[in-house]
Structure 1
Amino acid sequence: MSDEPTSDTPTDDAPAPAQDPWKGFRGVQAGTLVLEAIVVGLALPVVAQLGDGLTSVQGWVVGGIAVAHVVCSGLLRFAWSTWVILALQAALLAFVVTLPWVAVIGVLFLAVWLWLLWLRRDVARRMAQGRLPGQHPTNPAS
């Protein structure tokens, strides 16, 4: 089961939103993952010049992490995908000793993901309280 409430799950007495807010949020997450994959992919020339080269373990791991970001963007409907995303951030942070410039990418995107997780919690709370714009009936008099 997903840790996010779905539009089918009744929460308190709040009306269900007209549109599923989680669908849009998963789109934001997918876009962030693809953007992060591009940035990590752009770190490969840095690994080639300043690291041990693209054919080394470093090169393969950084390339694998970039591919894993793209794959994970298609798996966001599963609850465990959040943990995979955080594990990918931890993998980038593990380069702090050997490739500190790759670890900087991990730090920046970890901050982005922590902000997105905070937003997800905020949307869930607002949906439970019935405060999302899609949960209010439109007023034709306005």
Structure 2
Amino acid sequence: MTAPNPMKGFRGVMAGALIIEAIVVALALLVVHRTAGGLASWKGLFVGGIVLALILTCGLLRFSWSMFVVIALQVVMLVGFFALPELGVLGLIFGLVWTYLFWLRRDVAKRMAEGRLPSQQDS
């Protein structure tokens, strides 16, 4: 019997966080439509591109380099503050969420290396 891989489950948590972030950022399209020149403006395309990138990143989480893609998307959202302040606020909020998730990931990897996870204990 093989031991369960905790990182595989953690990838599911990260994919869920990306989908929730994509939904929240997609709601910013309503703000762009009403205040920033419409959905066909460069601001609407910018927000739509971020939503698409967040969804596509879910499929990349199995690769180790995908964490850099997630970080890059958060930086783009933070820099998006200059285009849309609402997007920058969302970038700040989700930046804190991802900081916590990366801290949890590091903690799980450390405990896994030390053999302290419940799935690694003898029954």
1:54-73 residue pairs with structure 2 within 5 A? Answer: 54-73=39-58
Give the CA RMSD over aligned residues. 1.0
Structure 1 unaligned residues grouped into runs of 5+: 1-16
Instruction: Give the corresponding residue for 2:67.
Output: 82
Instruction: Give the corresponding residue for 1:47.
Output: 32
Aligned pair count?
122
TM-score (norm 1): 0.83
Structure 1 position 122 matched with structure 2 position 107: yes
1:1-142 residue pairs with structure 2 within 5 A? Answer: 18-138=3-123
AA at the equivalent of 1:22: M
TM-score (norm 2): 0.95
Deviation at 1:96?
A: 1.4
Deviation at 1:106?
A: 0.5
Secondary structure of the structure 2 residue equivalent to 1:83: helix
Deviation at 1:79?
A: 1.0
AA at the equivalent of 2:20: L
Query: Aligned partners of 2:81, 2:101: CA distance in 1, in Å?
Result: 24
Query: Aligned partners of 2:88, 2:104: CA distance in 1, in Å?
Result: 24
Identity %: 53
Runs of 4+ in 1 over 4 A off after TM superposition: none
Tell which has more relative contact order, 1 or 2 (C-alpha 8 A, sep 6+): 1
